[in-house]
Amino acid sequence: MLASFVMSRVALKSAREIEIMRRAGALVAQTFRVLEPSVKPGVTLRELDRLAEEHIRKAGATPAYLGYGPKSSPFPGTICASVNDVICHGIPDGRELKEGDIIGVDIGVLLDGYYGDACYTYTVGTVSEKVQRLVDTTREALNAGLDVVRPGARLGDIGHAIQTLAEGRGYSVVQEYTGHGIGRRLHEEPTVYHRGVRYTGMKLEPGMVFTVEPMINLGRPETRLLPDKWTVVTADKSPSAQFEHTVVVTNKGHDILTL
């Protein structure tokens, strides 16, 4: 969610910190499972938001997004609920889901001083074949990016893997909104782009924790920010999908903390 704040350096996480973040990530994953039965025609985005907040608070955690951002316009929900042509940061309002929609649900939690963050795109009932292919490709693009995460790899390798898969199938990759480091702050260094050149960018080290969260459009990559200063949509009104995990670089490869 949102662009990264610029930090002075990448903070490598200790085993204790990673264990706490693993618990935060598990809570994020549990919250998706709580929401899944309710993602169906007729449910409102506000109801999904209520269910998520209730579950997160019952677990002793705090919704990471609620109240996040500038004091003049803090984010008003527990989840980001991005439907159809909404790329990210959709506000969970009274809109009802309908058959054939897709909805990207982005969830963040703060647990024992550390953050967990992930996104999942749900299909609502039966969707068109072209939209299903978009959702499947976006999930596969995330996995392609995660597959290259290991010590000695470069951030550019992640973006290259995602871009190659998505553009190779005729889709476009959103450029303005990125993955990010995460820990005691929701947004830390490094910035993780979803486009890139192999063998370029920061070298990955054990203890680095960050999100990978490609946003893939059925049409062109251009975006537009709505007047609410949060909701980002595709400029050509084409559908967009997103998947995200929080990942830690290990000595041998990586672990996904939000499975």
CA angle in degrees (0–180, nearest 5) for 166-32-94? 95
Distance (Å, rounded) from C-alpha 215 to C-alpha 176? 10
DSSP for 150-209 reads STT-BHHHHHHHHHHHHHHTT-EE--SS-EEE-SSSSSEEEEE-SS--TT-SPBP-TT-E
Rg, C-alpha atoms of the chain: 17
Known binding residue 213? Answer is yes
Helix (H) or strand (E) holding 13: none
Known binding residue 187? Answer is yes
> Residue 112 burial by CB count (10 A; 0-12/13-18/19+): exposed, middle or buried?
exposed
Q: Please list, in sequence order, all residues whose beta carbon lies within 8 angstroms of the beta carbon of residue 80, skipping any fewer than 6 positions away.
A: 1, 65, 88, 89, 90, 91, 92, 104, 105, 106, 119
Known binding residue 54? Answer is no
Q: Please list, in sequence order, all residues whose beta carbon lies within 8 angstroms of the beta carbon of residue 58, skipping any fewer than 6 positions away.
A: none
Select from 8, 7, 23, 22 the least CA-distant residue to 250.
22
Known binding residue 55? Answer is no
**Residue ranges at the known binding site for substrate:** 89, 187
**Residue ranges at the known binding site:** 89, 106, 117, 180, 187, 213, 244
**Residue ranges at the known binding site for a divalent metal cation:** 106, 117, 180, 213, 244
